[in-house]
Amino acid sequence: ESCRCPFPSVCKILWLNPCKFSFFRVMIEENYTKERKIPMSDCIFCKIIAGEIPSATIYENDEFKVILDRFPSGEGHALILPKNHVPNVFEIDPAQAGRAYALAAKLARAMKEVLGFTDMNILQNNGPIAGQTVFHFHIHLIPRREDDGINVTWTPGEPTDEQIAAVQAKLTNLI
């Protein structure tokens, strides 16, 4: 069955057909129409963190909750959620982002040992063009196996040395 939802690019990103999941499709539509600035009271991840929506929690501390993705790309696909509502990497406190990635490294090692996969994608999308569908910062931990059918790739560009130098000049000494 082909996707009939208004966001077919989201289907490709999430490796699923939201048309089969009407609740999920509505959530995506609402997030897109709210211009990525949804209040905490409407945030599905805030509701999961608050216990209003059930989740399969695999780890929790005072700052983060880690759950299995309800619509996973494969076995063990997990999400690291900060308990405070922050929309994206542009707005998260850098120290908190560092702690989130430190947690990702610890979880990745433990998950690899328990689930026996060979590789892992660690993804974090920011904004709809980048594939973000829930506007609450989160990190995807996606276990990978040979021939799993998951595709997280792009076509490499071929910039000239001058183009690279121009971008380098813009970005050098930003922080």
Please report which confidence band the pLDDT of residue 42 belongs to, taking 50, 70 and 90 as the band edges: confident
- Rounded to whole angstroms, the Cα distance separating 51 from 72 reads 20
Q: Where are the alpha helices (DSSP H) in the chain?
A: 8-14, 22-33, 44-49, 94-115, 161-171
- Rounded to whole angstroms, the Cα distance separating 105 from 82 reads 16
pLDDT over 60 (residue 98): yes
pLDDT over 70 (residue 37): no
pLDDT score for 59: 98
Residue 66 burial by Cβ neighbours in a 10 Å radius (0-12, 13-18, 19+): buried
Average pLDDT over residues 35-62: 87
Cα-based distances in Å from 130 to 26, 81, 126, 152, 167: 19, 18, 6, 12, 20
Among 2-16, 63-77, 104-118, the least confident range:
2-16
Q: How far is CA 144 from the centre of its chain?
A: 16
pLDDT score for 17: 45
pLDDT tens digit sequence for 100-118: 999 999 999 999 999 999 9
Gyration radius of the chain's alpha carbons = 18
138 catalytically annotated: yes
On the CB side of 56, CA atoms within 13 Å amount to: 10
Query: Which of the residues 77, 85, 136, 138 is marked catalytic?
Result: 138
Q: How far is CA 89 from the centre of its chain?
A: 11
pLDDT over 90 (residue 32): no
pLDDT over 50 (residue 48): yes
pLDDT over 60 (residue 134): yes
3-state SS assignment for residue 170: helix
